[in-house]
Amino acid sequence: MVRVGVHVSIAGGIANSVARAKESGCDAFQIFSRSPRGWGYKDLTTEDVQEFRDALEHSGLNPAVDHMPYLPNLATSREDMSGKSVGTLTAELLRCGQLGIPFLVTHLGHHTGESLEDGRKRVIRAINSALDHADNRTMLLLENTAGEKNGVGSRFEDILAVMEGIGDRSRTGVCFDTCHAFGAGYDLRTREGIEETFNLFDEMIGLREIQVIHCNDSRGELGSGLDRHEHIGLGSIGEEGFYQLLRHDLFRSLPLICETPVDERRDDLGNIAKVRDLAGDLPRDE
């Protein structure tokens, strides 16, 4: 059986996210530990922490995953933005430690017109600084991106270069996003494309580094550079692509988080059900 869940809201208190995940039929779930759209936030209270930990312990859900807010940019050359970004990353790592959340997902950011290598170096400095100031057991997962202009992390070699610069490699891993990989040019529509993609990742980085999968279809075409998520099976990766992905050992063994739309076509429960349906299909004629 696959372990699948969605990103859920913390509205009304962070512990409420656990009940929402259960109501959505999740096996695992993802949250923002605070509002993702601003720099400011309130510290977690002792009551917040205890309520979340208690709810999670009794829920049977595993794992809980935190995602970095939208504004930080770890690759920027702007000193003011860089300082706030590193501060936010440090704070999120510390919050995960308080809450007992094992994984924090982060994008690597966008360099500001200089070279990709310079952008990667700034990401490395930012991550090393945050990990040094947040001494806990939370693992920071580097998420591959979709190939946007000046983006860092869309190619596997970008992720490898950053990981090689991290002082404590035991504190970092990878969150693999299917929509982003497809947008960056990795073909996930066929068994052959999937095998080629993950064989390349394994040779370059190692599949063992992937800890969480963001399971998203794509509104953009292969290599489009677009980060636009679609319902499972309704995008350019398609049902056949996800049928084949869900037969890969990686997808059978790791938590799958859907960051898919909620609209008149399908909601979170519908996307979870679609993943489970495709994962449980009888073998098709090859």
What amino acid positions are annotated as catalytic residues? Answer: 37, 67, 70, 107, 143, 177, 180, 214, 227, 229, 259
**φ and ψ at residue 9, rounded to 5 degrees:** -80, 150
The DSSP-derived string for 238-281 is: HHHHHHHHTTSHHHHHSEEEE----SSS--HHHHHHHHHHHHTP
The DSSP-derived string for 143-187 is: EP----TTBSSSSHHHHHHHHHT-S-GGGEEEEEEHHHHHHTT--
Question: Rounded distance, CA 191 to CA 171, Å?
Answer: 32
Beta bridge partners of 151: 110
Tokens at 88, concatenated: 């936010």
Question: Rounded distance, CA 34 to CA 211, Å?
Answer: 23
Contact 268, 276 (CB under 8 A): no
User: Angle, nearest 10°, between helix axes 116-133 and 156-164?
Assistant: 50
Of 91, 69, 32, 72, nearest in space to 257 by CA = 32
The amino acid at residue 14 is: I
DSSP assignment letter at 233? T
Q: Residue 264 to residues 25, 72, 178, 267: CA-CA distances in angstroms?
A: 19, 32, 23, 8
Question: E strand or H helix at 106, and its extent?
Answer: strand 103-106
